[in-house]
Chain A
Amino acid sequence: MFAAVTSVALVGIDPCPVRVEVHVGGGKEAFQLVGLPDTAVREAKERVRAALLSSGYRFPYRRLTVNLAPAEIPKAGSAYDLPIALAVLAASGMVPAAVTGVVALGELALDGAVRPARGGLGAGIVAAAAGFPCLLPPGSAEEAAVVSRAEVRVVRTLAEAVAAALGETAPSPPSPPPETASGASVDLAWVRGQALARRALEVAAAGGHHLLMMGPPGAGKTMLARCLPGMLPALTSAESLEVACAWAAAGRPRPIPSEPPFRSPHHTATPAAIVGGGSGVPVPGELTLAHRGVLFLDELGEFPPYLLDALRQPIEEGWVHIARKGIAVRFPCDVQVAAAANPCPCGYAGDRLVACTCPPAGVARYRRRFSGPLLDRFDLQVAVPRLDPADLCGPEGEPSAAVRSRVAVARRLQAERGALNRSLSRRDLDALQWRPEATRLLRAAADRLALTARGWDRVRRVARTLADLAGVGAVAEEQVAEALSLRAAG
């Protein structure tokens, strides 16, 4: 009379178990679906009926009530066909009740075949947590295979699913996803010269600071930014599962690499593509794809101001909140921002050989774009000049791995204090230890260089990171001095 099969729905990027409950009762024939289903779910009835008949089962022409619980989670897509069909079969007594001891996901074709559906990774996570085997069609099963404790069984038809759920046939193990090298990352060893930018990158990696690189076209800003993921500590397995979930929620299955992701959205991308949203069920944007990694904003001056404004709060909080009628979701976006910009509209202000052709008022107007609430969060700014041709054939630089090990030490010291230096508030900074000469230099700088209160905080955050890299407790004058040179110029 009653049966329930577990499936999965996404809340933000987090997979949550959904109970697909079916009651077969007496009375007039009916098929009622409750529990916040969308249109695709409502159409399940026709597909389930046809699939049952094609697979040699009867369809119970009685009063069927299907409930997707908990009711408050929105459910989308055709992925619930397979669990509904299994629950209908169990509730009407056509197959043993043991068939319900699984987590299932998949769309049914009219001939009884099971088609891939979004959420394979989530199903794997839910199944591992529940201690159930996981029935997934080819195309979804591969995603779930990355969850180490999940027992994944690949099913191509409804009949295979029933057999697999009852343990009658040996499940075919899904092939592990191909291990693609993360193409985004560049090794620092390939970068010639640019000692200053390398230092800034190391400091950015060590303290998690947002970094702005200013330099003419062709100076190599993009290549430098691409080095950043390889300088960051490898993701823990929990973190990489989070990253995989974020990508899966955006409909982009991704093998789990240990390297932090790197995303570089174009300045012409829509706010929904960058921040998240879209029509229908909200989908994560580039911010969330960069979760636990690096968001690179190339040509920062070209990004429309409203877009930069839209980025500010999520970047500060580490969450994107999307609310609309009946739905409120949040996507994680714990990102480190790297940005690149030309020093002026023509790109050659301050260049060794090429004269800047911009009208001075234009340069001033352009530079004003690099102030504002979002840019206030950039602790580091560094000039990246075009290289002297002599530097291009210089020796290879230090590899990313060497920097990464120093970064790891600095990050451990921060973890012991309880927070990444990027997120230190004014009060936190006041509570840190400063040597008297360090404080003296800070005061003199505030006075002579007209540092604002926020600028003063930025310098102190960076100085703390430099002290962590140097392995010292109280911040010394030396670190404050270097931090001053890494602040926004002019």
Chain B
Amino acid sequence: MSDEARLRLAFCGLHPDRADRLKRAFGSPAGAVGALASGRVAAPEAVRAAAALPFAACRERLARLGVTPLFRGGAGYPAHLADLPGAPDVLFSKGALPAQPGVAIVGTRRCTRYGTGLARVYGQACAAVGWPVISGLARGADAEAHRGVVDAGGAGVAVLGCGPDIVYPAEHRPLLESLLAGGGGMVTEYPPGARPEPWRFPPRNRIIAGLAGAVVVVEAGETGGALITAAAALEQGRHVFAVPGDVGRATSRGCNLLIRDGATPVLDPADLVASLSLLLGPGRAPAPSGPAPPVEGPGRALLAALPPGGAALEEAATAAGLGVAEAMAALARLEVAGLVRRDGGLVLPGR
């Protein structure tokens, strides 16, 4: 199979199932591209135009964006993903993709603070051991898992449901940049310019699971991307962990069902790390980063009292044993120092 035809087919940005059907029908990626370009199969104008794009033009466009194409079976393409049936022929990547399997941490976009807090703690714990942490850059649990990686100075991988030149949601651009700056990577099977259309996300989840040796679901309802990732992981023979939640809470139901169906319940970060060590082996621990700026007095107490998922200022003040006026003043100093941020009524650690 030529890299040339595979790359040109990937540039069409089709749903992977459709790309597979065309490859079978026309015998090869080259046949599929030819059929699309000539109009022998019905396709939107944009797809036909992409199919007609010469190989050199594709390479040139990627070079301009600083995106590296990785070919299944070729250099740089993670072997543990390449082995799976249905793995993408071509990945578009930025930064470094780990050669060893990592830990996928996923959850619903509509997380409670319980879920976002856990995602961050588990992201931190796994990154600190040195395992790559893989997630989907979505709002809620995904973003918090990535933030945990950044906190720990570890390597994380964001798997996108759109082209490598698009950040979705856009407000996570700084987060993605921190990930890349910290030695992590970004990967997608969709070509430059592919919009984050809803149908692109379910297939994306098989890549998240495929890059991981184990999947941890922190909070999930009965439907949604996190459960698709868990299902893909089971299909691929990966181990699935789930965090038990309140049985009455809709956003915990998915996790609780996974546990009922045999997923390993996770109780705390140490428990997770212990279980994962058996599956993944030792990781490459990140070099300790420089000392954190010293924080004195009430600020230190407030910071120490802040759970990873954040808290209302009042809760944090009570936990730190501070009066509200004192806590408010301390909060502002921490905020100016970039050690906490506010989101609505919540105070969260980190930027």
A interface residue numbers (CB < 8 A to B): 193-196, 198-199, 214-215, 343-344, 349-357, 360, 383-385, 388, 441, 444-445, 448-449, 478, 480-486, 489-490
Contact B336 A445 (CB under 8 A): yes
Residues in chain B near residue A344, CB distance under 8 A: 344
Q: Looking at the complex, which one of A194, A383, A478 makes contact with B345 (CB distance below 8 Å)?
A: A383
Q: How far is the CB of A230 from chain B (nearest CB, A)?
A: 20
Size of the chain B interface, CB-CB below 8 angstroms: 37
Whether A385 touches B345, Cβ cut-off 8 Å, given contacts A195-B317, A360-B169, A445-B336, is: yes
Pick out which of these stretches binds chain A: B56-64, B105-113, B203-211, B275-283: B105-113
Which interface residue of B110, B139, B330 has the most chain A CB atoms within 10 A?
B110
Contact A481 B317 (CB under 8 A): no
B interface residue numbers (CB < 8 A to A): 108-115, 139, 169, 249-251, 310, 312-315, 317, 323-325, 328-333, 335-338, 342-346
Contact A195 B314 (CB under 8 A): yes
Q: Looking at the complex, which one of A194, A360, A388, A486 makes contact with B139 (CB distance below 8 Å)?
A: A360
Q: Looking at the complex, which one of A194, A353, A356, A486 makes contact with B328 (CB distance below 8 Å)?
A: A486
Residues in chain B near residue A196, CB distance under 8 A: 313-314, 317, 324, 328
Q: How far is the CB of B301 from chain A (nearest CB, A)?
A: 15
Contact A481 B330 (CB under 8 A): yes
Residues in chain A near residue B317, CB distance under 8 A: 195-196
Which interface residue of B325, B331, B338, B345 has the most chain A CB atoms within 10 A?
B345
Q: Looking at the complex, which one of A349, A388, A482 makes contact with B344 (CB distance below 8 Å)?
A: A349
Q: Looking at the complex, which one of A199, A356, A445 makes contact with B325 (CB distance below 8 Å)?
A: A199
Contact B332 A385 (CB under 8 A): no
Residues in chain B near residue A486, CB distance under 8 A: 328
Residues in chain A near residue B113, CB distance under 8 A: 350-352
Residues in chain A near residue B313, CB distance under 8 A: 196, 383, 485
Extra inter-chain contacts (20) besides given A448-B335, A482-B332, CB under 8 Å: A195-B314, A195-B317, A196-B324, A199-B324, A214-B344, A343-B344, A350-B312, A350-B346, A354-B112, A355-B108, A355-B249, A356-B110, A385-B314, A448-B338, A481-B332, A485-B313, A485-B328, A485-B329, A489-B342, A490-B344
Contact B338 A485 (CB under 8 A): no
Contact A195 B332 (CB under 8 A): no
Residues in chain B near residue A352, CB distance under 8 A: 112-113, 312, 315
A448 CA / B337 CA spacing, docked (Å): 8
Which interface residue of A193, A199, A449, A481 has the most chain B CB atoms within 10 A?
A481
Whether A489 touches B332, Cβ cut-off 8 Å, given contacts A355-B251, A385-B315, is: no
Whether A482 touches B343, Cβ cut-off 8 Å, given contacts A195-B324, A383-B313, A444-B336, is: no
Contact B344 A383 (CB under 8 A): yes
Contact A385 B330 (CB under 8 A): no
A481 CA / B326 CA spacing, docked (Å): 9
A356 CA / B110 CA spacing, docked (Å): 6
Closest to B310 in A: A350
Q: Looking at the complex, which one of A355, A478, A482 makes contact with B111 (CB distance below 8 Å)?
A: A355
Which interface residue of A196, A385, A490 has the most chain B CB atoms within 10 A?
A196
Residues in chain A near residue B338, CB distance under 8 A: 448
Residues in chain B near residue A193, CB distance under 8 A: 314
Q: How far is the CB of A237 from chain B (nearest CB, A)?
A: 35
Closest to B108 in A: A355
A485 CA / B332 CA spacing, docked (Å): 6
Contacts A/B (CB < 8 Å), 15 sampled: A195-B323, A196-B317, A196-B324, A196-B328, A199-B325, A199-B328, A350-B312, A352-B312, A355-B108, A384-B345, A388-B315, A448-B336, A480-B332, A481-B332, A490-B343
Residues in chain A near residue B108, CB distance under 8 A: 355
Closest to A459 in B: B332
A449 CA / B345 CA spacing, docked (Å): 16
